[in-house]
Structure 1
Amino acid sequence: MLAVSAWHKPLLHVIWTCFLAVLLSTLVQTQFNLLALQQLGVTIPFSERLATSLHDVRHFAPVYAAIFSCSYLVSQGIALWLSRWVAGRWQPALFALAAASGLWCTLMLVNALAPMPTLIAASRSLMGLLSLLLIAALAGAIFARALQPLPSARPQRALDASALVVLLPLLLSAGLVSPPAMATKSEYRVETLVKGLEHPWSVAFLSGGAMLVTERPGRLRLIHIDGRLEPEPIAGLPAVFASGQAGLFDVLPAPDFAQSQRIFLSYACGRMRANHTCLASARLDLSQLELTDVTEIFRTYPAKTGNAHYGGRLAFLDDGSLALSLGDGFDYREEAQRLSSHLGSIVRLWPDGSVPEDNPFVGQPGALAEIYSYGHRNVQGLVYDSATKQLLSHEHGPKGGDELNRIEPGVNFGWPVVTQGIDYTGARITPFTAYQGMQPPLLDWTPSIAPSGLTLYQGDLFPGWQGDLLVGALAGRQLQRVRLTGQGAEIVEVLLAELAERIRDVRTGPDGALYVLTDDGRGRLLRVTPALDGAGAKVH
């Protein structure tokens, strides 16, 4: 009982001050997120503000508690140990400084380890970060005041208490439950054409039967008509910024490639603290395996920091113009609602980089003329249906809220004012799943499948798939067949789930087969064709 009485008081104080800090930080986080929307001109009724605050207390607070408690318990344990040499009146400052420093270090560590640049959205701004640190400091100061006078005659007790506080995070645990993978009866066969590709991103077909594949680290590879991978990458690529999600993205031959030998490449350019999505045009010399006449024809504005959310898909429209999808840069999600920024938009250009005069915002003051549609998060699927004159795209949502959209010029697709998803921390990004003047999706995926790669099937090998969309899934590790239904769309079938591999790209080949890239350090190019029965006939 004596041993317990030596440490139970500081332990109880650290628990309730930790709880107080988590609650206050959650409410502050919510208000900063809502303030960012208000600065876009969005009206947020008090009822929605209250509902969002309560949602975040329930869903964000446990995540933040795990992060904060680790930093707080360790920092306050260290402060308890140091308090033996600090005068009583300075102890609140010591504990406050320890708590704020511990949280700052923890947030920096989490951001370095997490796949996204900034995990806690409020800390994207200096004021938001300072607010969280001040709350941590307040909790530390209150903790110190609650302990005074600290036991000076028994310094070992303070040391015992600090050790227990530091070890307490080991008692915390969390579990994540993943939904079971969807299964479907296989009536197709899969063969590996090429393996050993380093995070392949895009595949394109050349006249004559050869293929090009991009690798995200910054290599363009040639696959010969016989399926043989050329050992050396094609030379002459522009400088690529490769880090995290940044790298070499799409490759698209010009419609007249047989005559012009021209291709288009999208890629990340710049450096960690100032980078862009860029688009270049080049001539491909197959005899020398090099690019010549390489010209950058587009670069996003403004520059951004970090290495996430670039978009990068390309598609030609029937008038010869070129559409390029872009991302919001993750930390810059509000930019998707600003026409003065390319982030979070789809742009439309002529192949020389000039702007079509009928783009929707040409001549509008303060708007970038290249923008074709906006309010997107991270568009990684883009295809043009020449039969229906439709440009279709899909984009990543956060935790849920992936979208399939029919793109129309000048239309606002809502992000981040509207989404079906929530942040990775469980916090609400917005109170709204619909908002006046913003286009709803044809289909949304919640939970997220992380869609990447999109093709419109128009081949002969799978007659029942004519006009359907094939959607790759990174997190979902599958391929989904989707059918447009008037004003919406529906999932018809799940394919390739048995492979349990991240799907980065999917294309319809000239032979009617599906060509699929898996996203891995040793990724593969797969060919999907109808299954054969025992007599060698196709199974339908």
Structure 2
Amino acid sequence: MIRALKTLSLAVFFICLNTCAQDKNPVNTQNSYDIVVPELTNPWAFTFLPDNSMLINEKEGKLIHFKDQVKTELKGLPEIYARGQGGLLDIALHPDYKTNGWIYISYASPKGEDEGGNTAVMRAKIKGDSLVEKQLLYKAEPNTTKGQHFGSRIVFDTSGYLFFTIGERGEREVNPQDLTRDGGKVYRLHDNGGVPEDNPFVEIENAKTAIYSYGHRNPQGMELHPETKAIWTHEHGPKGGDEINIIKKGANYGWPVITYGKNYSGTSITDKTKKEGMEQPLHFWDPSIAPSGMAFISSNKYGDWKGSLLVGSLKFSYLDRCTLKGNKVIKEERLLDGIGRVRSIEQGPDGFIYVGVENLGIVKLIRS
């Protein structure tokens, strides 16, 4: 393991008319990191195997097994559509992995009649250095050559249901609010890809029956709350309006009918931030931090940080520690400030927090 202490200094903030409270989040300098897995380009996701080795998804299309300081690239991945924000995305273990050996992977797939790609979810097992028994569980349609908003995070709930996210693929006017179309949704399946009979839209004509909630933009964070077991997500807004949400069955989260963000040009998307029948975020960022990766601290390794929510910032290159009171974010502070684009976060089996950082690797968070 390579030791690398990061010098963290207080940021200088310039006050202007457009400054929002999130710009003034204090920088906590009482933390550092160890580099655990060096020399990774874009560790979009990673997970720990029972032997404490890691499976790491490099966005470009490489699945790496990291064990005893050695990286082994596993063979047998499906064809990956690596374009823009698309590529090899999330990875998760089945809750009963020790018994059945299933791993679940989301990725941008070119499979289908149309040119381009869209988000897919598969499961497979590992035999030696290869994926075997591969099964495609879901493939969003239609394909598009647009390079944005694939989602895509994977979580199992306490009942063994598989949840995953798909972004609206840059088609905000047609996808997020239309139950007959993929994109801008959170989905729920059985672990084998079957659609649960009690999914909220199974009786709606022509609806995509795997949909669990809708009206999302581009969710790149999803985690099960360690105490309530509710599914929390965060999603990218446009210019401002990144959100944290708690996912409810059949709920509409509003995009693009309501939003706290604007077009990147600064023009208005809508004059509404609230509407009856649409969920309000429990927290939003303005300006946008470009959130990716999400984890709760549930171990005792970090003292009074226990219970915090961690969110990575791609835009500002830090780890955002959110202090929670119930379902409210009451305080934020920057950890690992300036480390680089934080892409993925996991609490390891040892209780420590591990963070995937673009063009650096996977690091372990140390509280000084």
CA–CA distance in structure 2, aligned partners of residues 195 and 487 of structure 1 = 36
- Contact 2:25-2:332 at 8 Å conserved across structures: no
- Indicate the SS of the match to 1:258: helix
Contact kept, 8 Å, 1:235 with 1:291, in 2: the verdict is yes
CA distance in 2: counterparts of 1:289 and 1:198, whole angstroms: 21
Q: CA deviation at 1:333?
A: 4.3
- 1:508 corresponding residue in structure 2: 347
- Give the residue type in structure 2 aligned to 1:195: P
Change (3 A) 1:309 1:210: same
- 1:483-538 alpha-carbon deviations (Å, 9 max, x no partner): 33345323332211142x1100111111111100112xx3311011222xxxxxxx
Kept in 2: contact 1:309–1:329 (CA 8 A): yes
SS in 1 for 2:292: strand
Cα distance per residue 1:316-359 (max 9 Å; x no partner): 01100110011010134431001111210000011111011111
Using the alignment, how far apart are the partners of 2:25 and 2:331 within structure 1? 12
Contact 1:191–1:527 under 8 Å retained in 2: yes
What does residue range 4-15 of structure 1 map to in structure 2 within 5 Å? Answer: none
**Structure 2 partner of 1:323:** 163
Instruction: Select 1:229's aligned residue among 70, 76, 84.
Output: 70
Q: Given the alignment of the two structures, is residue 528 of structure 1 paired with residue 365 of structure 2, yes or no?
A: yes
Counterpart residue identity of residue 435, structure 1: K
Quick one: structure 1 residues 452 and 477, their matched pair in 2 at CA, closer, same or farther if it must change by over 3 Å?
same
More strand by share: 2
- Match of 2:176, SS state, is helix
**In the TM superposition, what is the alpha-carbon distance from 1:178 to its structure 2 partner?**
10
Please tell me whether residue 280 in structure 1 is matched to residue 95 in structure 2.
no
Greater RCO, 1 or 2 (C-alpha within 8 Å, sep 6+): 2
Q: Aligned ranges for residues 100-249 of structure 1 at < 5 Å?
A: 183-224=26-67, 226=68, 228-230=69-71, 232-249=72-89
1:267–1:278 CA contact under 8 A, matched in 2: yes
2:230 is matched with: 390
Residue 181 of structure 1 and its aligned partner are, at CA, apart by 8.2
Q: CA offset at residue 245 of structure 1?
A: 0.8
Deviations 1:373-392 (A, max 9, x none): 00000000000125213100
Query: SS of the counterpart of 2:110?
Result: strand
Q: Which runs of 5+ in 2 are unaligned?
A: 1-17
Residue of structure 1 aligned with 2:130, choices 290, 300, 316: 290
Aligned-residue offset at 1:276: 1.2
Q: Provide Cα deviations, 1:193-230, integer angstroms capped at 9, x if missing partner.
A: 12211211001011011011100011001111x4x132
Query: Is the contact between residue 479 and residue 503 of structure 1 (CA under 8 Å) also seen in structure 2?
Result: yes
Aligned equivalents of 1:417 and 1:300: distance in 2?
A: 23
Larger radius of gyration between Structure 1 and Structure 2:
1
* Distance apart, 1:300 and its partner CA: 1.0
Match of 2:7 in 1: none
Q: In the alignment, does 2:105 pair up with 1:268?
A: no
Provide the rounded CA distance (Å) in 2 between the counterparts of 1:504 and 1:363: 37
Q: 1:416 offset after TM fit, Å?
A: 0.3
Q: 1:194 to 1:486 in 2, by over 3 A?
A: closer
Match of 1:452 in 2: 292
| Distance of 2:170 and 2:70 partners within structure 1 | 35
Greater share of helix residues, 1 or 2? Answer: 1
The Cα offsets for residues 121-168 of structure 1, whole Å up to 9 and x where unpaired, read as xxxxxxxxxxxxxxxxxxxxxxxxxxxxxxxxxxxxxxxxxxxxxxxx
Residue matched to 1:102: none
Unaligned runs of 5+ in 1: 1-176, 532-540
Deviations 1:264-308 (A, max 9, x none): 0000001883321000100012xx211101111101133333111
RMSD, aligned CA: 1.9
| Structure 1 residue 472 displacement after superposition | 0.5
Any idea what SS the aligned residue of 1:505 has? strand
**In the comparison of the two structures, how many residue pairs are matched?**
347
Aligned to 1:362: 202
Over residues 385-444 of structure 1, what are the superposed CA-to-partner deviations in whole Å (9 max), with x where a residue is unaligned? 252131000000000000000110100000000110101111211111111111010000
Counterpart of 1:245, as a letter, is Q
Residue type of the alignment partner of 1:443 = H
Superposed, 1:16-95 pairs within 5 Å as: none
For residues 237 and 367 of structure 1, the distance between their equivalents in structure 2, rounded to whole angstroms, comes to: 30
